[in-house]
Amino acid sequence: MWWQILLFLVMSAVIVTGFITEAPQKQIGEASRIFYFHIPQAWLCVVAFAMSAFYSARFLKNRKLIDDDYALDTARLGFIFCLLATITGSIFAKVTWGSFWNWDPRQTSIFILLLIYGAFFALRSAVEDEDRRATLSAVYSIFAFVTVPFLVFVVPRMVTSLHPTDSVIDENLNFTMGVQVRSIFFSSLAAFSVLYFWMLSLTKRLNRLKRKQMTGAA
């Protein structure tokens, strides 16, 4: 229980300090506060995807349907975070670049991530047999995950982008932010990550119970 209370306190502290302290980026000004929330969301979007690929690989290895449930759970959570990152990002784009959507490379890559999640769900709904659905979606999930490094790291750096690139680390891998900004940012990142793993563990428990009930009834 204690860590849930701690999570609540840290999250509240991040929200409060994120708004009352000085804006993290002088040039962009007030809008740059979104950085405390937008980056953790985008980060979890990729982490959830990686977890989905991980459970998919484990399913292909052990052939336990519970792993397929987990892969779906984390994909669902990842989709939510992806949607949140897209929305917060486009609000930021409106404020700083003047339009909600202008196909900046970053926007393109998060849009493709959304499409991949969408395709994953579409594939699942197109296969009736449970084992086959698990296999096919596991393969697709891993196959799509292989393209993520291209989307997240390569494409945005090959095409000129308006997206701030040096907000966390600069080219020499040094932190660009001051101590205060850094501590708020990393607290937020940690809090969001804990939140994600908590949500994941809840859905995992739910699925374990469902599987248990199914085998019990059979």
Partner 1 sequence: MRKKSIALPASNAGLTNKVLAVYVKDLRLELRSRYGLNAIFMFGISSLTVISFSLGQAALSTKVLSALYWIVVLFSAMSAMAQVFVREEESGTAMALRLTTEPNAVYLGKLFFNLSLLVILVSVITPLFFIFTDAPVEGIVNFLLVMILGVLDLCAATTLIAAIIARASVKGALFAVLSFPILLPVLIVLVAATDKVWAGSSLAEVSKLLQFLLAYVVIMVTASLMLFKFVWED
Q: Which residues bind partner 1 (CB under 8 A)?
A: 60, 108-109, 112, 115-116, 118-119, 122-123, 126-129, 131-132, 135-136, 138-140, 142-144, 146-147, 150-151, 154-155, 158-159
Q: Which is nearer to partner 1, 149 or 178 (CB)?
A: 149
- DSSP states of 154-210: IHHHHS---S-SSSSB-TTS-B-S-HHHHHHHHHHHHHHHHHHHHHHHHHHHHHHHH
Contact 211, 69 (CB under 8 A): yes
Cβ proximity to partner 1: between 147 and 193 the closer is 147
Between residues 66 and 184, which has the closer beta carbon with respect to partner 1? 66
**Smallest separation, CB 23 to partner 1 (Å):** 33
Residue 150 beta carbon to partner 1: minimum distance, rounded to whole angstroms: 5
Q: Which is nearer to partner 1, 46 or 195 (CB)?
A: 46
**How far apart, in whole angstroms, are the C-alpha atoms of residue 79 and residue 48?**
8
**Least distance (Å) between residue 71 CB and partner 1:** 14
Select 128 or 171, whichever has its Cβ closest to partner 1.
128
- At position 104, the amino acid (one-letter code) is D
Q: How far is the CB of 53 from partner 1 (least distance, A)?
A: 11
